């Protein structure tokens, strides 16, 4: 048993969009910031991602499952538009580009890191 591991609690996650500046945002790509929650040695990770209006993430493939919960705004991927409250689950082997016309904040969870095609 690993006693160094600690439970992570994020209270009232659906209200994160009311005070997004309370998170520790780091540069990820032009117009896209990330606030890591955890990363482990096996590649499993979770983070909040903030897209500025008009920003995008290039085409990438999912090596493991990806779960995206839209917390604020809208996001476009794979020809569909997703809104606040939508949960998108991308299985291994799927690929898409992501963009946000008006900006958004999402909770992202990855089973394994994605593979970018750029």
CATH of the domain at 45: 2.60.120.10
**Interval 54-74: pLDDT, tens:** 999 999 999 999 999 999 999
pLDDT of 1 > 70? The answer is no
Give residue 101's domain range: 32-116
pLDDT of residue 37: 94
Rounded Cα distance, 57 and 77, in Å: 10
CA distances from 73 to 82, 84, 93, 107 (A): 9, 6, 27, 12
Q: Report the domain count for the chain.
A: 1
Residue 15 maps to a domain: no
Residue 93 maps to a domain: yes
Residue 39 maps to a domain: yes
pLDDT of residue 2: 53
Rounded Cα distance, 92 and 112, in Å: 9
pLDDT of residue 89: 96
**Interval 9-32: pLDDT, tens:** 888 888 887 888 889 999 999 999
Residue 40 maps to a domain: yes
pTM over 0.85: yes
Residue 19 maps to a domain: no
pLDDT of 5 > 60? The answer is yes
Residue 21 maps to a domain: no
CA distances from 95 to 17, 58, 64, 118 (A): 27, 10, 11, 13
Residue 6 maps to a domain: no
To 5 degrees, how large is the angle CA 74–CA 90–CA 20?
A: 40
CB-hemisphere CA count at 13 Å for 101?
7
Residue 91 maps to a domain: yes
pLDDT band at 3 (very low <50, low <70, confident <90, very high): low
């Amino acid at each position: 048993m690993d006693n160094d591991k600690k439970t992570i609690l994020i209270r009232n996650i659906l209200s994160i969009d009311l005070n997004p500046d309370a998170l520790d945002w780091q540069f990820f790509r032009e117009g896209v910031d990330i606030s890591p929650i955890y990363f482990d040695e096996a590649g499993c990770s979770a983070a909040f991602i903030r897209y500025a209006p008009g920003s995008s993430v290039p085409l990438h493939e999912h090596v493991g499952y990806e779960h995206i919960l839209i917390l604020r705004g809208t996001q476009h991927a794979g020809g569909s538009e997703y809104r606040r409250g939508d949960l998108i689950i991308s299985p291994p082997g799927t690929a898409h580009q992501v963009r946000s016309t008006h900006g958004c904040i999402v909770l992202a969870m990855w089973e394994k890191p994605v593979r970018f095609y750029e």
